[in-house]
Amino acid sequence: MCALNAAILLRETEIKKEMKKTELPSYDQLPTKSQAIVRALAEKFGKAPDLFKLMGLSENALENYLNFKKCNSKGTFNAREIEAINLVISEVTSSKYCQSGHTVFGKIHGLSDGEILEIRMGRHSNPRLQAIISIAKEIVVMHGNVSEKILSNFQDQGFDTSALIDLNALVVDALLTNYICNMTQLEIDFPIARQVIKS
């Protein structure tokens, strides 16, 4: 397993060397609707992450994504749990931008530095959170074909089919931004997250 992980990491590094970074658009280069969205985000949070500026090149994608994200926040999982899902997925996809961004947001929502690193490695001492991150990780790795054991552990924590659907929506939410950041090699505008050793 270690040899396989090393081979995957090497290939990811080779691909990133071959890819050209996408230039971040200036505010004036964005469509009018995207400018308004980015401005509103900056007014609300003090700064709009560069990811949203980049996504703003497609006003359709940016608007739809933010609406989808807002709806997802009203589902089964609380903000802390959502950040745990985001963190473990960012590790699976090797998205350094998302690892760094969700390290910041994870702390905002009550996760400690130690918890964040453990979650990225797919572990947590809390049974509910462990069930959530285990199934989120397996959904991505196994393309939705989760094992009976992982699914049973999730259900044993009181989660029903509605929660499973909410979880899949959050996975899709995370994968969209992870993939965009990886494909464009977006420069990180957060404090750089620590690297974890993959077993």
CATH of the domain at 86: 1.20.1290.10
Contact 41, 54 (CB under 8 A): no
pLDDT on residue 8: 56
- CA-closest candidate to residue 164, choices 142, 149, 141, 144: 144
Do 103 and 46 lie in one domain? The reply is no
Domain containing 146 equals 79-184
Please provide the DSSP assignment of 142-156 as one string.
Answer: TTT---HHHHHHHHH
Answer yes or no: do 136 and 172 share one domain.
yes
Q: Indicate if 178 and 134 belong to the same structural domain.
A: yes
Same domain, 176 and 84: yes
- Residue 67 maps to a domain: yes
**Cβ burial, residue 22 (10 Å; 0-12/13-18/19+):** middle
Please say if the pLDDT value at position 63 is more than 60: yes
140 plus 169 within the same structural domain = yes
The number of distinct structural domains making up the chain is: 2
| 6-10, 109-113, 173-177: least confident range | 6-10
For the cut 60, the answer to whether the pLDDT of residue 199 exceeds it is no
Pair (133, 106) in one structural domain? yes
pTM for the full predicted model? 0.88
**Residue 178, CA atoms < 13 Å, CB-side half-sphere:** 20
Residue 198 within any structural domain of the chain: no
CA distance 187 to 135: 30
Q: pLDDT per residue over 141-178, tens digit each?
A: 999 999 999 999 999 999 999 999 999 999 999 999 99
Question: Which value, in Å, is the radius of gyration of the alpha carbons in the chain?
Answer: 17
Q: Poorest-confidence range of 5-9, 40-44, 108-112? A: 5-9
Q: Are residues 88 and 180 in the same domain?
A: yes
Per-residue pLDDT at 132: 98
One domain, residues 52 and 136: no
The pairs formed by 98-106 with CB atoms below 8 angstroms and a separation of 24 or more are 98/174, 98/177, 98/178, 98/181, 99/193, 100/188, 100/190, 100/191, 100/192, 100/193, 101/49, 101/51, 101/188, 101/190, 103/190, 103/191, 103/193, 104/190, 104/191, 106/80
- Regarding whether 114 and 178 lie in a shared domain, the answer is yes
15: pLDDT strictly greater than 70: no
Q: What does the pLDDT read at residue 20? A: 72
Residue 56 lies in a domain: yes
Does residue 193 form part of some domain? no
Average pLDDT, the chain: 92
Q: Which residue has the tokens 């971040």?
A: 24
Does a structural domain hold residue 19?
A: no
Do 67 and 83 sit in the same domain of this protein?
no
pLDDT bracket for residue 103 (50, 70, 90): very high
Residue 137 has pLDDT above 60, yes or no: yes
Checking if the pLDDT of 23 tops 70, the result is yes
Backbone angles phi, psi at 165, to 5 degrees: -70, -45
Based on the fold, state whether residues 68 and 120 are members of the same structural domain. no
